[in-house]
Structure 1
Amino acid sequence: MTQKTALFRADASQTMGSGHIMRCLTLANALKEVNYKCEFACRQIPKELIKLIEDSSHNITILPEVNSDSSNEIANLVHSHWLECTQSLDAEHCIALSPKPRKWSMVIVDHYALDRQWERKIAPYCKRILAIDDLADRHHHCDFLLDQNLGRDPNDYLNIVPLNCIKMVGPSYALLRPEFAEIRHTSLARHRSADLNNIIISIGGTDENNITFQILKQLLISPSLGNASITIIMGSQTSLIETIIAEAELSNREITVLTNVSNMAELIAASDLAIGAAGGTAWERCCLGVPSLIIVTAKNQIEGANALNQSGAAIIIEKSATKLPSIETFLKQDNLSEKLSKMSAAASLITDGHGAARVVHKITVNKESNIILRKANAKDKDLLYTWVNDCQVRKNALNTATIPYYNHEQWFSEKLKDTDGCHLLIVENTIGQKIGQIRFDHITGSKWELSYSIALEFRGAGLGEKMLVPAIETLGRLHKNITVQARVKKHNLKSRRIFEKLNFNLSSSSQIEYDVYEFHYI
C-alpha cells in the first residue's frame, strides 16, 4: 500500500509564538501513527523547534529567503506582515516540494497570514486541505476547518469556508500530546481537594513581553503565598532568562526554572495553580483539571480568555494588576482551597485530551468507509481495562464500581476461552484506530445479551449505530433465529435512541433502574 503524505505549513517566532508549530507537530505525530509521512515547510522557526520536528522523525524544509520588494502584493489580512512575502510566492515555494507526479494526501495550513488565495494555489497539488484557525477573520478554500477555541461557534465560519467544508470547532478537538490524556485521570483525582503547595508559571515558548519576570516579582512580594514552591517553564530563547534564574537563586523560596521541558504534562499535573497565557497551553491545563490565572498575551486570545473566565475554569489577570483582579487578590481569599477545587472541576469539563485522535478520524476516514470488526485477543487486555473503567462507562454500567485490574484479568481470560458463550469484538476504523468494543453473552436458548462501549475520543461521531449493525449481522450468521437483548439504564438517553433507531423493542421485562430492549434477528 502506498504511504500517504501530509505537508504542514506553519511558522514560529517571537511575535507568532510557538503554538502553531507545536499543535501541528502533535497532529503530525498522530498521523504518523496511521502511516502518514509528514513534512513541514517553514519560513521562520527557531532552531530548537527544528530539532523537535526532526527528533519526531518528520522532514522539515526552510523556505527560501525573499527580497523585500517581493512582498508588494496587497496585504489585506490583519497578519499579512507575518509572512515576509506574497502568498503566491509562498505557495510556489511549497509547490516546489510536492511529490510529483503524485499529490500530497493532505496539506495542513496553520498560519494567520495565509487564506484562500494560498489554499487555491496549493489545491491542485493535494487531495485535501485542512485549515487550522483561531480567528474566523478570513476566507478559506479547504475541505476541513479546525478551530479548537472555547466559545467559538461553527456559524462563525458560515460564509468564509466552502459549504461542504467539514468544521471541527471547540476544545474537544484541541490538539494535545498523548501524555495529557494518559495522566488526566490521576491529575483530576489529585485536584479534587486542593491546597496551594506548588504554582507553575508558563507563558509560552517565546514570552516576547517578559511577562514571566513580572509575575515572579509579584509572587515574591505576596504575603499570601505561604510556603508554596514555584516552578517556571520557559523557552531557552526568552530574553530575561538569566535575570529570572538569578532572581530564583537569591530567593529563600523554593523556585525551579526549567527550559525546553519534555515532561510538561507531568509538571502541570503536579501544580495546584497555573499562571499562563490564554493560548493553546490553556487546553493542556484544562485537560488535567488545573486551575489557572490567565494572561492575554495577544489579541487573538481575548475571546478564548473570556470564555474560560465565564466557564469558571480560569480567572483573567493583568500583569500590571491595574484593571483586573491581581494575583494577590486571588491568593488572599479565605476560601482559596474551595475556589481551586471548583475551578479544577470546571476546567476538567472543557477538554479530555483526545482531540488529535478525533481530528485524525475526521480527516482520514470517509463517512462511507467500512469499520472493521475483529475478535478480541490477549493483546487487547489493557485496552479493554482502560475502556471498562472510563467514568462514563462505569456510570452507565449496572455495576458502577471501578473494576480492579486483577478481576479484569481473570474475567478477560475467561471470556476469551468461552468461545461458545461469548463473542467479544474489537471495532476499528480503516486506518487502524480502535473505536470501541461489542460483547455478546449467551443467556439461554436463542437469547444473547449485547453490551458495547465507544472509546472516549470517538464519542459523538455517530458511530454507535454503524458498529452495532454489522456486529448483530455477524452474530446472526453464526447463530440462526436469535434474540438480542440489551439492558440500558434509564438515564442513558444516547444508547436508548440508538436501540430505538435500530428497531429494538422495549421489553416487558424492564426494571425500575433499567429498560430491556430486544431485537429478533431471523
Structure 2
Amino acid sequence: MRPLAVFRCDASAAIGSGHAVRCLTLAAALEQAGWRSALATPAESLGVVPALGRHPRIDPDASAPADLLVVDHYRLDAAYEGTARAWARRILVLDDLADRTHDCDLLLDQTLGRHAADYRPLVPPGCRVLTGPAFALLRPDFASLRGQALERRRGVLKRVLVAFGGTDPGNATGLALAGIAASGLDLAVDVVLGQAAPHLEAVRASLPANATLHVGTARMAELMLDADLAIGAGGSSAWERCCLGLPALMMVIADNQRAVTAALERAGAALALGDAASLSAAAVADALGHLDAGGLATMAAAGFGICDGMGAGRLARVLAGDGAGVLTVRPAEERDGAILYGWKNEPAALANSLSRTLVPWADHRAWFVASLTGDRRRIFMIERDGAALGAVRFDLGDCRAVVSLVLAPESRGLGLGAEVLRLGVEAFLATHSLPLDARIRIDNAPSLKVFARNGFVPGGDTDGVVTATRLP
C-alpha cells in the first residue's frame, strides 16, 4: 500500500490561508511521488481554503495511523508531537518562528536567513533541519513561469499587484489602494483576496476604475508574471514573488512576518514600509514615487537568486531518503542560469565584485549559454539536499585559469565558503592541471581568508585588487 501522509493545519480569517496552502503544495508533490494524503483540519478551514475539500479529511483530534505526520501550526509543539508518536511513524514540522520545542524527525523553516543552529536547542538530537527559501513550498506553476519572468523584468512600472494573503484581516489592501491613488501614477492594478476575507465587500465597493478584483483566484502565478511591482506582506507569497523576480513594497501585517520582511530588504529583493497599522496612504504614495528603473531591476534580480520554486520537490526527495545532508558538486546546467543571475546581482555580491555593475538578464543569459557550450569556462554548483549553496567558476587561459566564488545569500556567514571552494577546485583539477589565480578586492577580508584556507597565496594588489595564486 502507498504510504500515507497526514497534514495537521488550520486556516481562518485570523491566521490566514498560508499554512493550508503550503501543506496542499507538499501534499501534491508527495502524491506525485506515490504517496497518499489526508488532512487533519477543522471543517471551518474549508471555507477559507476550498481546495482543502479535494483531499480526504480526518478529525484533527483523531489518532489515525500514518507513515508521516506533517504539522504546520503555531499553537502545536513538542507536547502534541510527542503524543502523536504513538501513531505517526515519522513527524515533519513546518515552522518559521523558532520559538518553541518540537518532537520531530525533520523540520523545515523556509525563512531567508534562518539556520539549522537556530533550532538545535528546540529539537531532538537526531532531528534533521532544512532551512531557507530553496525549500519554499510553492506550486509548480511559479517555477514554470520563471523563464518568462526573466525576459519580462525591464524596470518599468505600469502594473501593480496588491495581495496581502487570502484573508488580510487588517485591510492593508485598502491602505495600498489609497496609497496608489494618492501617488497620482497612471497604474493598472490587480487586487487579490480570498472569499473569506473580512473586508472583501468594503474593498469591492471602493475599488477604483483602474483596478481589477480577483477573488479566490487560481491564477496568482500569472498575475505575478504580469505585474511590475507587488504591494504585499511577508507570508508565503513573498517566496512566490522572489521566484518570479517581482519587486515588492512590503508591509508587516503580523508579528511573525517581521523577520522575512527584514531579510528580503537586506537581500535587496524588496523595500520594507513598516507596520501596516501605523502607515499612511501618503507614505505608500511616497514609496511609489521614489521607485526608479534601477531600483526595480535590482529588486527583480535579487529575488531571482533567492528562490527557484523547486522546494516542494526537494523536500519530497528528502522524505524519500535521497541525500544525507552532505555537500555535493556537479557541473552547472541551463537551469542554473537564473539562480546565478540573482546571486551575481545581489547587493552584497555586487559590492564585492570587481565591476560592481548590475548585469542585465539578456547579457547574463548570453554569457551563461556561451559558458556552458564553450571550452574556455567551467562552472560547478555545490549543493546540499538538492539546494544550491554556491558556485565556483574557472575561466581558462592558455596556461592558467582564473577562479571565482559566489555563495547563495543564505550560505554566507556560516563558514561554508572554504568547503564550497574546495569542492569546486577539486572538481576542476580532476580534469585540468593549471595554476589558479583568484582576483579579490583587498577590502573583502572574508573572501581572502576563504581562498587562503584553500592554498591560495596572495601577491601584491593593483588598484585595490589582490591576485592570489595556487599551483597545481
Q: TM-score scaled to structure 1, two decimals?
A: 0.63
Residue of structure 2 aligned with 1:202, choices 140, 144, 163:
163
Offset at residue 18 of structure 1 (A):
0.9
- Aligned mate of 1:43, from 41, 54, 61: 41
Matches within 5 A, 1:22-101: 22-26=21-25, 37=35, 39-44=37-42, 45-46=45-46, 49=49, 51=51, 60-64=55-59, 85=61, 89=62, 92-93=63-64, 96-98=65-67
| Corresponding position of 1:232 | 191
CA RMSD of superposed structures (Å): 5.2
Per the alignment, in what secondary structure is the counterpart of residue 231 of structure 1? strand
- Aligned equivalents of 2:327, 2:159: Cα separation in 1: 49
Give the drift of 1:438. Answer: 4.5
Q: In structure 2, do the counterparts of structure 1 residues 128 and 425 end up closer, same or farther at CA, with 3 Å as the change threshold?
A: farther
Residue identity opposite 1:337 in structure 2: G
Deviates more, 1:389-398 or 1:257-266: 389-398
2:280 to 323, 326, 343: 326
SS at match of 1:330: helix
- For the 8 Å contact 1:424–1:439, the answer to whether it is kept is yes
How far the C-alpha of 1:470 sits from its partner, in A, is 4.8
Structure 2 CA distance for aligned equivalents of residues 27 and 266 of structure 1: 21
Match of 2:328 in 1: 371
The SS at the match of 1:233 is strand
Whether 1:517 and 2:468 are equivalent positions in the alignment is: yes
Structure 1 residues 511-520 or 238-247, which shifts more? Answer: 238-247
Deviation per CA, 1:117-166, whole angstroms, max 9, x where unpaired? 22223447767644233455543113454455689898986754446656
Q: Is the 8 A contact 1:176 1:356 kept in 2?
A: yes
- 1:110 positional shift: 0.6
- Residue 190 of structure 1 is aligned with which of 131, 155, 167? 155
1:338 aligns with 2:290: yes
Query: What is the correspondence of 1:225-374 to structure 2 with a 5 Å cutoff?
Result: 225=184, 227-238=186-197, 245=204, 248=207, 253-268=209-224, 276=232, 279-281=235-237, 288-296=246-254, 300-301=255-256, 313-318=272-277, 324-327=278-281, 329-330=282-283, 337-338=289-290, 353-354=306-307, 360=314, 365-367=323-325, 369=326, 371-373=328-330
What is the identity, as a one-letter code, of the residue corresponding to 2:328?
I
Q: Tell me the distance in 1 between the aligned counterparts of 2:378 and 2:112.
A: 38
- Report the CA distance shift for 1:372/1:150 in structure 2 as closer, same or farther (over 3 A): closer
Match of 1:119 among 53, 75, 81: 81
Contact persistence 2:72–2:95 (CA under 8 A): yes
For 1:484, the equivalent position in structure 2 comes to 435
- Is the CA contact (8 Å cut-off) linking 1:285 and 1:292 kept in structure 2? no
Question: Quick check: 1:504 aligned with 2:456?
Answer: yes
Structure 1 pair 138–382 and aligned structure 2 pair: CA distance change class (3 A): closer
**Alignment-derived partner of residue 80 in structure 1:** none
Asked if structure 1 preserves the Cα contact closer than 8 Å seen for 2:163 and 2:192, the reply is yes
Match of 1:20 in 2: 19
AA in 2 matched with 1:387? L
Pairwise CA distance, 1:291: 1.5
> Cα distance 1:140–1:291, how it changes in 2: closer, same or farther (>3 A)?
same
2:134–2:310 Cα contact (<8 Å) kept:
no
Name 1:73's counterpart in structure 2.
none
Distance 1:358 1:337 in 2: 35
Separation (CA, whole Å) in 2 of partners of 1:386 and 1:148: 17
Structure-1 separation of matches of 2:193 and 2:201:
11
Counterpart Cα distance in 2 of 1:4 and 1:398 = 52
Q: From the superposition, tell whether residues 397 and 239 of structure 1 become closer, same or farther in structure 2 (CA, over 3 Å).
A: closer
Q: List per-residue Cα deviations over 1:169-223 (Å, max 9, x = no partner).
A: 78787655573893776787526xx6xx6554434324567x3786599679x66
| Distance in 1 between residues matched to 2:449 and 2:39, nearest whole Å | 46
Q: What letter is aligned with 2:194?
A: G
Return closer, same or farther for 1:39/1:423 CA change in 2, 3 Å cut-off. Answer: farther
Change (3 A) 1:13 1:487: same
1:285-305 residue CA offsets vs partner (Å, 9 max, x unmatched): 676322245545xxx558569
Q: Quick one: distance in 2 between partners of 1:461 and 1:31?
A: 31
> Who wins on radius of gyration, i.e. which is larger?
1
Deviation at 1:43, TM superposition (A): 1.9
- Structure 2 unpaired stretches of 5+: none
Whole-angstrom CA distance in 1 between matches of 2:280 and 2:418: 51
In structure 1, distance between residues paired with 2:229 and 2:377: 47
Q: CA deviation at 1:501?
A: 1.4
Which string of whole-angstrom CA distances, capped at 9 and with x for unpartnered residues, describes residues 407-454 of structure 1? 554554331xxxxxx573644658656666545555456x54444555
Q: Secondary structure at the match of 1:20?
A: helix
Distance 1:358 1:469, change over 3 A: farther
1:133 is matched with 95
Q: Report how many aligned residue pairs link the two structures.
A: 447
What is the 5 A alignment of 1:448-467? Answer: 448-453=401-406, 464-467=417-420
Sequence identity (%): 25
How far did 1:257 drift? 1.3
Q: What secondary structure, in the 3-state scheme, does the structure 2 residue paired with 1:118 have?
A: helix
Change (3 A) 1:247 1:110: same
Deviation of 1:313 (Å): 0.8
| Equivalent residue letter for 2:163 | S
Q: CA–CA distance in 2 between the matches of 1:226 and 1:127?
A: 56
1:75 paired residue number: none
Give the conservation status (yes or no) of the 8 Å contact 1:176–1:354. Answer: no
Q: What residue is the counterpart of 2:8 in the other structure?
A: 9
Equivalent-residue separation in structure 1 for 2:235 and 2:341 (angstroms) = 33
1:487–1:514 Cα contact (<8 Å) kept? no
Q: 1:371 to 1:138 in 2, by over 3 A?
A: closer
Q: Could you list the per-position Cα deviations for residues 14-73 of structure 1 after superposition, in whole angstroms to 9, with x for gaps in the alignment?
A: 44421102233455667789x68473533234278564796xxxxx43113xxxxxxxxx
Measured after TM superposition, the shift of residue 496 of structure 1 is 2.6
SS at match of 1:190: coil
TM-score (norm 2): 0.69
Contact kept in structure 2, 1:26 and 1:356, CA below 8 Å: no
Flag structure 1 segments of 5+ consecutive residues without an equivalent: 55-59, 65-82, 99-103, 319-323, 416-421
